[in-house]
Amino acid sequence: MAGKKGKKKRADNRKRRKRSSISQEARQADYEKEGGVRDRCREKVKNNTLYVHIPIPYPTHFLPFTKDRKLVQQFAVQEKWPDNHDLPDVTTNDRLNVFIRTNPPTHAQKQLMGPGETGQWMLRKDWTHPEQLLALKTDGVPKYLAMRFAEVFPKKTLAKLVSLWHAALAAGVVFGETELQRFKSPALHLAIWGLSRAEPAVTADSLQTKAVDPVAAVAALDRLLGVVKREIVPVMKCLMHEHNLEAERVNKLIHARVRHVLASILKERPNLDLGGLFFAIAVKAGSSEVLHIDWNDNLHKFALIFCAGSFEGGEVCLPQLGRRIPLRPGSLLALRTRLLAHAAIVGGSGFRLVFTCFTDSLLLEQTIAGDFAYL
């Protein structure tokens, strides 16, 4: 009897394998006939994109400076930037992708930048080895200051993120003290950065040592990061591969170093490794309505911002460009947040959960200045 059953099972398995190989062949034929997923994606972006050239000088206001919170407000007064609510939207069509550029930097403006048009503060570092300069130079200057990709994340994924955020709050996740003091709606900074350390480090918010039940808090955060990693990051990678390819080489160097230095904790908590496109993620409910620069971001790396929830408004204000970019749930905004002062405005009483994915500048600088094994 057992022999008969085994024979039937093997025959079923053979049939299943045959069916799956046929469908694979059919899928491959479809893929080739239609030019492939990536080609279709490219075509979709090309036909549905608003290219905006704003005829103003390249915005180098914050290039020569290091962290100075008052500077943004000083520039706003000095340059007579309009109030966030008075800026016009770049488009009211939420289904359009939007790519924004200005005039390129002039020769004089380039003098404010270091190798590969990196910030001037980089010049103060001791970049002596040719490999270091090469690593900086190949992290090329992106063509656009901001890119919005419309409706790229499924509603189901966004709903999952909102419910996992609420689950994390219910698990007693604790916010950093400075965040609670400074912001009405504090952010959690998750995964990996290099702030004020010689080596990459897991953020304090990810470790939750001050939570009443750290194990439950960490587990809840890992579930949230898991959905970002599995369902959000692959879409981002595909889009950025297409539109910001130059940054990939440096990303790979940072990623190799991070994986080596933090090998044991990443083995235990694999969702802290978000795949190398970015290394940290700030999550907050609400919005940052105060105009600011993300001083710890990299000059030429895009911060990748997306929202979940249900709300009205959600425009990202960019006074240096004299425009706002509406950012609805499911769309992705790639923004040069070290170059462009920004704030978001949200109207009504909805719930907005915003995710800002970034690589802090120290992580990049450490990788280039540090161990040559990664160059």
Question: Which spans of this chain sit near Fe ion (rule: CB under 5 A)?
Answer: 294
Shortest gap between Cβ of 237 and Fe ion (angstroms)? Answer: 22
**Integer Cα distance of 120 and 63 in angstroms:** 7
Residue partners of 245: CB distance under 8 A and separation at least 6: none
Tokens of 347: 């109207």
Closest to Fe ion by CB, 205 or 294: 294
Shortest gap between Cβ of 211 and Fe ion (angstroms)? Answer: 26
Closest to Fe ion by CB, 117 or 294: 294
Shortest gap between Cβ of 336 and Fe ion (angstroms)? Answer: 11
Tokens of 315: 């425009």
Tell me which residue has its CB nearest to Fe ion. Answer: 294
Shortest gap between Cβ of 168 and Fe ion (angstroms)? Answer: 21
Q: What are phi and psi of 131, to 5 degrees?
A: -65, -35
Q: How far is CA 359 from CA 78, 155, 355, 356, in A?
A: 30, 26, 13, 10
Closest to Fe ion by CB, 294 or 365: 294
Q: Which of 113, 98, 101 is nearest to 54 (CA)?
A: 101
Closest to Fe ion by CB, 84 or 208: 84
**Integer Cα distance of 170 and 148 in angstroms:** 33
Closest to Fe ion by CB, 217 or 339: 339
Tokens of 41: 């994606």
Tokens of 156: 């189901």
Shortest gap between Cβ of 361 and Fe ion (angstroms)? Answer: 14
